[in-house]
Amino acid sequence: MPAINWSRENGFMLGMAFHNGFIIPKPLQYVAVPIFAFGNTDLAGLGQIAYSITPYDNLIRLITISLEAAQFGAPGQQNYRKLKTGLEVNFRNKNMTHPLNHKVTGNYIAASNLYQIKLMEKAKMNSYAQFEYLLKKNSIINPYSLLASFELGKTHQKTSVEFNYRLSYWGMDNGLDVRFFAGGMLKTNSEIPFYAFSASGRSGREQYLYQGMYPDRFSVSPENFFSRQMTIAEGGLVSPVNDSLGYSQWLFSLSLTTNLPGKAARFPVKPFVNLLLNDHGMSAIQNSPFFYEAGLKVGIWDLFEIYIPLLVSKNIDSISGPFKSRIRFVFSIDSINKLRLRRNS
């Protein structure tokens, strides 16, 4: 099937998507999307293949081995590249109807050196390893998940815990969503700060593992519309404070999101509150390590969400510029066009 894309570095892209089906899970699944970029007259694209094993009557319910690769344009007339190999092990519950599921994941990632790309230097490939344990309750009422992560690279090591919980209200998909995050650096590199924890959602130019699909990955917010794109993770603040605040050796954050009451819940609007405590303040004057913001988010949930912080702490207000500079959005096109090659766990 035809594939169309666009990015600032690649320009308009046209190619083909090859796959062996999305609806019915298969032991071997693949997708390959080779693309020609007309802007820089170069090849781009991505590919993914996964093989699943289902042991019979065993402690392990499902094993998935995967390989992913991607190449897209970057500043300085070059490309960024990413190669990821993964092993995912899903464990079996004694009670087949039990809502709790748990799994462990290990990934090896080779990715272009983002620090060198930002300096317009020829980028070498850096290596990273990730290990995760996920405990998840799949339930319509009060679902939750707990994720423990460890990541190491040549110059850094870090560990984190993320807990997500929904206190269900009346009606389908209504409730109070709670997210708690705690992370700490075990080893750090002061010359490359973005390996440490991010207080606010990372833009594309901060994603050293090149997660997500960013039409304008390397732009500086709020330079243009697409420069406001972010990924909600780590500290979870919406206001773009990373360039002024820097990155954190440790941080704790709490995020709350809820539906509007009554019939107003039908509207695609949700209030949110974000609280964060980290290891340093903004400046000698605004030296409080505590940050907060509250506002509204609107959009199509899990696909396109616009975040509008209306109330922020003084330390955020001192560096975030005018109100409109704090407005950012999440665009998760991955949720539509990226193949999830592993079976649902």
Strands, DSSP E only, in the chain?
A: 2-7, 11-16, 18-19, 28-37, 42-53, 60-74, 78-91, 100-112, 125-137, 144-153, 157-168, 175-187, 250-258, 269-278, 290-300, 304-312, 328-331
Q: Does 345 fall in a domain?
A: no
Q: Does 289 fall in a domain?
A: yes
Q: Does 222 fall in a domain?
A: yes
Residue 244: helix, strand or coil by DSSP?
helix
**What confidence tier does 334 reach under pLDDT thresholds 50, 70, 90?**
low
pTM surpassing 0.75?
Answer: yes
Q: Does 99 fall in a domain?
A: yes
Burial class (CB in 10 A: 0-12, 13-18, 19+), 64: buried
Q: Summarize pLDDT for 242-265 with one digit per residue, the tens.
A: 999 999 999 999 999 999 988 888
Return the pLDDT at 266.
Answer: 86
| Stronger pLDDT, 340 or 312, i.e. the higher one | 312
Q: Which of 179, 91, 207, 105 is nearest to 148 (CA)?
A: 105
Q: Which of 345, 335, 336, 337 is nearest to 64 (CA)?
A: 345
Evaluate whether 286 touches 300 at the Cβ level (below 8 Å). no
Return the pLDDT at 84.
Answer: 98
The CATH number given to whatever domain includes residue 276 is 2.40.160
| Stronger pLDDT, 170 or 268, i.e. the higher one | 268
- Reading phi first (left if > 0) and then psi (alpha if -120 to 50, else beta), residue 57 is in left
Mean pLDDT of 129-153: 97
Return the pLDDT at 333.
Answer: 73
Q: Summarize pLDDT for 298-314 with one digit per residue, the tens.
A: 999 888 999 999 999 99
Least confident range from 55-59, 157-161, 328-332: namely 55-59
**Which residues form the domain of 24?**
2-337
**Residue 118 CB partners (closer than 8 Å, separation 6+):** 75, 205, 218
Task: Tell me: pLDDT of 97 over 60.
Answer: yes
Q: How far apart are CA 26 and CA 24, in angstroms?
A: 6
Return the pLDDT at 10.
Answer: 96
Q: How far apart are CA 281 and CA 249, in angstroms?
A: 12
Task: Tell me: pLDDT of 171 over 80.
Answer: no
Q: Summarize pLDDT for 259-286 with one digit per residue, the tens.
A: 998 888 889 999 999 999 999 987 777 7
Mean pLDDT of 178-189: 96
Q: How far apart are CA 264 and CA 260, in angstroms?
A: 5
H/E stretch holding 72: strand 60-74
- Reading phi first (left if > 0) and then psi (alpha if -120 to 50, else beta), residue 233 is in beta
DSSP 197: B
**What confidence tier does 340 reach under pLDDT thresholds 50, 70, 90?**
very low
Q: Does 200 fall in a domain?
A: yes
- Reading phi first (left if > 0) and then psi (alpha if -120 to 50, else beta), residue 146 is in beta
Evaluate whether 204 touches 223 at the Cβ level (below 8 Å). no
The total number of structural domains in the chain stands at: 1
Q: Does 343 fall in a domain?
A: no
Q: Does 344 fall in a domain?
A: no
Q: Does 270 fall in a domain?
A: yes
Return the pLDDT at 345.
Answer: 44
**Helix and strand numbers, DSSP H then E, in the chain:** 4, 17
CA 160 to chain centre: 14
Evaluate whether 224 touches 215 at the Cβ level (below 8 Å). no
CA 32 to chain centre: 22
**What confidence tier does 217 reach under pLDDT thresholds 50, 70, 90?**
very high
Give the tokens for residue 156. Answer: 């850094």
Instruction: Tell me the pLDDT of the chain averaged across its residues.
Output: 92
Mean pLDDT of 103-118: 97
Task: Tell me: pLDDT of 182 over 50.
Answer: yes
> Roughly how many angstroms between the first and final C-alpha of the chain, as a whole number?
28
Give the tokens for residue 223. Answer: 């330079």
